[in-house]
Amino acid sequence: MKKQLLDTVAIVDGASTSAHLAPAFRSYGVRCVHVLSSESLPQRLQTQINPADYVRSVVHRGDLRQTADALRDLGISVVLPGVDSGVELASRLADALEVPLRNPVELTAARRDKFEQIEALRRAGVRTPQQFQSRSPQEIADWARAHARLPVVIKPTRSSGVKGVKICRTQEQVEEAARNVLAIKSSYDEVQEDILVQSYSEGQEYIVDSVSFEGHHKVVSLWEVERDRSHSPRLEKMLVVDHTQPQYAEVIAYAVQVLDAVGLHYGPSHLELIVTAEGPTIVELNSRLHGSLDPRLTTAVTGENQISVTVEAFVNPQLFKQTLNEQPRFSGFCGHILLVSPKAGVLARDFAWDSIEQLPSCVSVKRWVKTGDRLNVTTDLRTALGMVGLFDAQFDRLTADWKSIRQIEHSFFSDPETLAA
């Protein structure tokens, strides 16, 4: 039988890190088409999508059959979500088109909805936190009072970038956080109707970036994560660790259980978990590329990144499967540091970007604010100043530079003329 080569890939909401996917596929001669999940997708995301990267662009207007018919003539082999807003549509569209490389549609919700995800893991016998879902803040508060020890975590079932996620240490905080979930929209402007309360997991957090093909899972990067957990679990920094070391075997084995339980057979994923006294326990799985990353960093460390592994898995699946057990060689260290504002107000002068860019290990700086912008106290990605990518052959130099970043922030915001009311 003639070997069938990948010809066309569809990408749904190809923003953030996934904006690199289409150019990477095109470098192999693979055509890409783009599907916008909704005309109401925030403009800040739509501007990250380059129409020139695609042979066709389609807007989904709620009719799955109509969207599938607009793509049916292209012979699409796989439909990949770019960001969370595209996860469910990508799965249902792949099923409607009957593409050969697709994840089971019956587990679509488990790959996006945080409550359904935990339920799927629980049914599969995978360790999870306790949880309860409701549309009533009072029912959420009652459950927290009766079934869980404080602290608990309140979040939207369709959270992203920790928006709306709160760590609650009092019943008053539980009730306030639950009401807040219903008062906000998601990062993709989705109305939040369901509130999720979960038991709090204590321990070291890790992020596992993987790529899957035919149910085989390859760990690309393992990040050791530090967050400010005083109220919202805001990211402080994350550093890549050598996941070939024996102490991480349990983490990786748990990640495989999670991916299997939600039916993630094809594509990239981004799993957040905490190693508790009982063992690894999921925070959440995002069935798409790890967002807001500089792919050069992990490439400098191991020679590959989540984008390159995703593309190569679909372009040359045989090689992907043959090399699953090959351990990467680590050359240096890398990390991402979130730039945070400790205060609210209007930014009266330019942030100290130059001071950060001059640090020896600085590779890239994403600037998300400018003079004249109104700042909030940073609680999530949307309220951060930006993101810094670091790489160095020496871990000590990397550590010194992220500490310098915090000193630069402190000095900048200590100046009373930095913010206007």
pLDDT at 160: 75
Residue among 344, 329, 312, 336 at smallest CA distance from 391: 336
Band (pLDDT 50/70/90 cuts) for residue 232 is confident
- List the CATH code of the domain at 201-331: 3.30.470.20
Fold assignment, 332-421: Aldehyde Oxidoreductase; domain 3 (3.90.1170)
Convert the pLDDT of each residue in 282-337 to its tens digit. Answer: 999 999 999 988 999 999 999 999 999 999 999 999 999 999 989 999 999 999 99
Report the share of the chain in percent with pLDDT over 90: 90
What confidence score (pLDDT) does residue 187 get?
80
Residue ranges covered by each domain of the chain: 8-102, 130-199, 201-331, 332-421
DSSP secondary structure, 245-296, as one string: SGGGHHHHHHHHHHHHHTT--SEEEEEEEEEETTEEEEEEEESSPPTT--HH
3 pLDDT exceeds 70? no
Question: What is the token pair recorded at 339?
Answer: 């730039």
295 CB-near residues (< 8 Å, 6+ apart): 17, 20, 305, 306, 307, 308
For residues 395-401, average pLDDT? 95
Q: What is the reported pLDDT for 185? A: 83
> What is the chain's mean pLDDT, rounded?
95
Pairing of strands 31-36, 131-134: unpaired
Q: Is the pTM of this model over 0.85?
A: yes
Give per-residue pLDDT as tens, 149-191.
Answer: 899 999 999 877 778 899 999 999 999 999 999 998 888 778 8
| pLDDT for 1 beyond 50 | no
| Nearest alpha-carbon partner for 26 in 298, 296, 255, 311 | 311
Reported as a single tens digit per residue, the pLDDT across 333-353 is 999 999 999 999 999 999 999
One of 3.40.50.150, 1.20.1730.10, 3.50.50.60, 3.30.1490.20 is the CATH number of 130-199, namely: 3.30.1490.20
Are residues 193 and 182 in contact, defined by beta-carbon separation less than 8 angstroms? yes
pLDDT above 70 covers what percent of the chain?
A: 99
pLDDT digits (tens, 9 = 90+) for 354-383: 999 999 999 999 999 999 999 999 988 889
Q: How far is CA 1 from the centre of its chain?
A: 39
Q: Is the pLDDT of residue 2 over 50?
A: no
What is the Cα–Cα distance from 161 to 234, expressed in whole angstroms? 9
Question: Residue 21: what are its φ and ψ, rounded to 5°?
Answer: -65, -50
CATH, range 8-102:
3.40.50.20
pLDDT tens string 129-146: 999 999 999 999 999 999
pLDDT at 148 > cutoff 80: no
Q: What is the DSSP string of 24-87?
A: HHHTTT-EEEEEES-TTS-HHHHTT--GGG-SEEEE--S-HHHHHHTTGGG---EEEESSGGGH
Nearest to 321 by CA among 214, 165, 172: 214
